[in-house]
Amino acid sequence: MCGLVGLVCPSENDAVHARQAVAGALRCMRHRGPDESGTWQGDEVVFGFNRLSIIDIEHSHQPLHWGPPEQPGRYTILFNGEIYNYLELRAELAERHGAVFGTDGDTETIVAAYHYLGPASVAKLRGMFAFLIWDSHRKVVFGARDPFGIKPLYYATGPRGVAFSSEKKSVLELAPALGIQPKLDRKALQHYLILQYVPEPESMHGEIHRIESGTSFTVAPGGRPVVERYFPATFRPRVVHGEADANRLYDEITEALRDSVAKHMRADVTVGSFLSGGIDSTVVAALAKEHNPDLVTFTTGFERQGYSEIDVAAESAAAIGVKHVVRAVTAQEMMESLPLITWYLDDPVADPALVPLWFIAREARKHVKVVLSGEGADELFGGYTIYREPLSLAPFDKVPGALRKAMGKVSTKIPQGVRGKDLLRRGALTLEERYYGNARIFLDDQLRQVLRTYDPAVSHMDVTAQPYRESEQWDPVTRMQHVDLFTWLRGDILVKADKMTMANSLELRVPFLDPEVFRVASQVPSELKLTRETTKYALRRAIRDIVPAHVLNRRKLGFPVPIRHWLREEMHDWAIDHVRQSQTDQYIDKAGVLRLIEEHRAGTADHSRRIWALLVFMIWHGIFVEGRIRPAVPEPHYPVKL
């Protein structure tokens, strides 16, 4: 788990002049790899690396050079992430191709697989990764990002080259060397206010993009990246005949999870686990305990009833027999830390849960260097309650199209807060029109009230069109899962997981997001995902002998944050101050934002998520555009509690 910077230049002379800029870009993300740092210059490339040492600590230094015996040093690789099946893959490459390795780590495995198997080698990697491989013979860089987008990879193209990095702030540092001046993208801002994140491959700066999850690419000096998808994330629900057939499926789920957790425990440092009150993190922790009897788990929450899973998590920790560490977060701490957290984010993400995640990651880093977590279970196994919506809206499917549209118009006349208004509005829409992930921040009419640059042509369907085209033959629930894999999961869930843990030089691993687990999960039919009583039915059946009974059928809260209350009380004046100081008038109608804050305080409407989204954007703008806000970024320093 580390931070990489790569610059592919049109000429060797350009590379010479860019080397100093790469060193500066590395300093921007020293938190991703505080253990060691290194740079290397080839003919037309400059590579830089910050390392967080997890596997083969004494060796596997990067940039790493490798080649077959007849071509030593042909390749140079930068690799951020972990390959969990590297031992098996190393053995296979040695037996079938005579591959020779000089280290005991996973980095060499990637480049050796590429040499012997070509671009198809990416599909053999089980892990989280973003990497660049420079082939000095062919004069080309090959790179890839893991199937689900666990590890980030930003890039920008300019007249003096192409820059890649694990963090966008490092690409911004390299912008002058590329000959570009990145500017705020108004379309990305509108997408953010709709979705609460900037969707891939966009970023909030129009000139900086992201390599998408599940894709590989090549780029030659003087060229642009040519991207291809290697992982389509295809669901293949199978027909289940009777209870015996269903039980076989449940056993396959259990076996896949147990194998994934076992491989995710591979490390030369101590591995802990996050633990909330839900089944996802609990099953991961319980399976991890089988490999580490001294496992330490971590949870966070708030001292407000209904907004904490601390007690349930503590009960779970006691039941599975692990040491447990708790970190409660106050409103004051959230307000004080938000600018620094936003700096770590690179782009605004309006998910309040990322703040307590940052605090618990900071606490966990005092004890361990790696943690496991339960991200991805909801998307793979049908865990979100909104996946039940096709059942509740099924009667609308029998209504003729013209009448459904008329019902939608009627819903606009119903006052806000009246029961049934949103049901009528959503029932009048097709699945493609109404569903675009778990977060729905601003609707169109609400956007017009706060966004000076509102563009009616910009829609969530810009983002979801491709996943919907790819899933036309599937049932509605599976289509919603597919959309979430390419939007919500990689845009919100995995961004906050990576950024908040790496901000604290902590590696986070997600055993649910494993190709073998996905292979089994993709076969679960809809009737075994959701019932009238519960979500993730098949998963619950599969793990009922592993997790404590008190969490098996408990509704998941995650890390809920009481901003609805705090923005009426402790955070009210703080929010107003940020709005008034912000220099975002060309984008945001600040008078409209202040009205939202006062309406929320008066209790006439719940605008908490919309206010929070605007505040995070304004703080982001104050840091990355205005330069008015300058968070004090600490040097990575981790005294370990014994």
Plot region of 376 (φ>0 → left; ψ -120 to 50 → alpha; else → beta): left
Residue 206, class by beta-carbon neighbours within 10 Å (0-12 exposed, 13-18 middle, 19+ buried)? middle
- Segment holding 272, helix H or strand E: strand 271-274
List, in order, residues 6 or more apart from 566 with CB less than 8 Å away: 331, 334
Is the C-alpha dihedral spanning 501, 505, 510, 511 positive or negative? negative
Q: What is the DSSP string of 58-86?
A: TS--SSEEE--TTSTT-EEEEEEEEETTH
Sheet with strand 370-372: strands edge to edge? 323-328, 296-301, 271-274, 370-372, 507-509
Q: How far apart are CA 264 and CA 267, in angstroms?
A: 8
List, in order, residues 6 or more apart from 19 with CB less than 8 Å away: 39, 41, 46
Q: Is residue 2 annotated as a catalytic residue, yes or no?
A: yes
User: Residue written as tokens 């008078």?
Assistant: 591
Is the C-alpha dihedral spanning 500, 506, 512, 516 positive or negative? positive
Residue among 2, 7, 178, 265 flagged as catalytic: 2
User: Residue written as tokens 């919907």?
Assistant: 468
Question: Coil, helix or strand for 478?
Answer: helix
Nearest to 210 by CA among 220, 221, 197, 223: 197
373 labelled binding-site residue: yes
Sheet with strand 154-158: strands edge to edge? 36-41, 45-51, 2-8, 161-165, 154-158, 208-210
Hey, what amino acid is at 481? Q
- E-only strand ranges, 113-214: 127-135, 140-145, 154-158, 161-165, 208-210
Q: How far apart are CA 481 and CA 377, in angstroms?
A: 11
The full length of the chain comes to 642
Q: What is the DSSP string of 328-387?
A: E--HHHHHHHHHHHHHHHSS----TTHHHHHHHHHHHTTT-SEEE--TTHHHHHT--GGG
Q: How far apart are CA 574 and CA 550, in angstroms?
A: 39
User: Residue 465 corresponds to which tokens in the numbers above?
Assistant: 């069109």
53 labelled binding-site residue: no
- Phi, psi (degrees; rounded to nearest 5) at 95: -70, -45
- Phi, psi (degrees; rounded to nearest 5) at 475: -75, 160
Residue 386, class by beta-carbon neighbours within 10 Å (0-12 exposed, 13-18 middle, 19+ buried)? middle
Q: How far apart are CA 172 and CA 392, in angstroms?
A: 46
For residues 225 and 218, the answer to whether their CB atoms sit within 8 Å is yes
List, in order, residues 6 or more apart from 3 with CB less than 8 Å away: 26, 29, 30, 32, 33, 49, 50, 80, 165, 166, 167, 170, 502
Residue ranges at the known binding site: 106, 373-374
Residue ranges at the known binding site for L-glutamine: 106
Residue ranges at the known binding site for ATP: 373-374
Annotated catalytic sites, by residue? Answer: 2
